Structure 1
Amino acid sequence: MGRTAAAIEARERAHLLIRLAAIALGGTLVLLAGVGATSLAALVLVLYLAAAVSVRYYPPLQRAPFVVPVLDLAAVTGLVSTLPLQLGPWILYAFAIGVAALRSGPVGAVAATALAVVGYDSALVLRGEQAHATDLWPVQALIAIGLVTAEIVWALARQDVDTLWSRNHALALSGLTRQREPEEVLRALIPELARLQSVEGAWVWTHGSDQRLRTTVTAGAAPPAEIIVSAEAMRAVLRPSPLERIVPNMTGLSIPISTNPPLTVGV
Structure 2
Amino acid sequence: MHVFVTGASGWIGSATVDELLAAGHKVTGLARSDTSAASLDAKGAQVRRGDLDDLDSIREGAATADAVIHLANKHDFDNPAVSDRAERAAVRAIGDVLTGSGRPFLLASGVAGAAQGRVMTEDDRSPFHGPESLRGGSENLALEYVDCGVHTVSLRFAPTVHGDGDHGFIAALVAIAREKGVAGYVGDGANHWPAVHRSDAARVTRLGLEKAPAGTLLHVVSEEGVPTREIAEAIGRGLGVPVASIAPQDAEKHFGWIGRFFASDILVSSARTQELLGWAPSGPSLLQDLDAGSYFRA
Length-normalised TM-score, structure 1: 0.29
Please say which structure displays the higher CA radius of gyration: 1
Higher relative contact order structure (alpha carbons within 8 Å, sequence separation ≥ 6): 2
Structure with greater strand percent: 2
